[in-house]
Amino acid sequence: MTKHEAPEVHAGRPAAFYVHLFFFPVFGGSLASSFRFGHSRPAMTVWAGPALVITAAPVIVWHRSARQEQRKPRTALDEGT
């Protein structure tokens, strides 16, 4: 693996969203610190707020679909017997 290659990940694991999981604290931290230090201008919240939502959306959708998949009742056909 070279310096700029993405690690091998599978869609069924949270590591598949490593870029999203990296930028979530970046955008969340910038939004939180803007309020904490009194720099909560409209441009800051308009930039960081939607960026935070867009970054978190794929992870939330994946998590919800994984939980729904776990809650489905298993049948004999699903288990391959």
Tens-digit pLDDT profile for residues 15-46: 778 888 889 899 999 889 989 998 888 888 88
- Scan for tokens 């441009």, then name that residue: 43
| One-letter amino acid for residue 59 of the chain | V
Domain membership of residue 3 (yes or no) is no
Domain membership of residue 75 (yes or no) is no
Q: Residue 20 is inside which H or E element, if any?
A: helix 18-36
Domain membership of residue 55 (yes or no) is yes
DSSP 38: T
- Residue 56's CB is within 10 A of a number of other CB atoms, namely 17
Tens-digit pLDDT profile for residues 52-78: 999 999 889 988 988 888 887 766 665
Domain encompassing residue 48: 18-69
Task: State how far the Cα of 18 lies from the Cα of 6, in Å rounded to an integer.
Answer: 9
Domain membership of residue 12 (yes or no) is no
pTM for this prediction: 0.61
Structural domains of the chain, count = 1
Task: State how far the Cα of 77 lies from the Cα of 81, in Å rounded to an integer.
Answer: 6
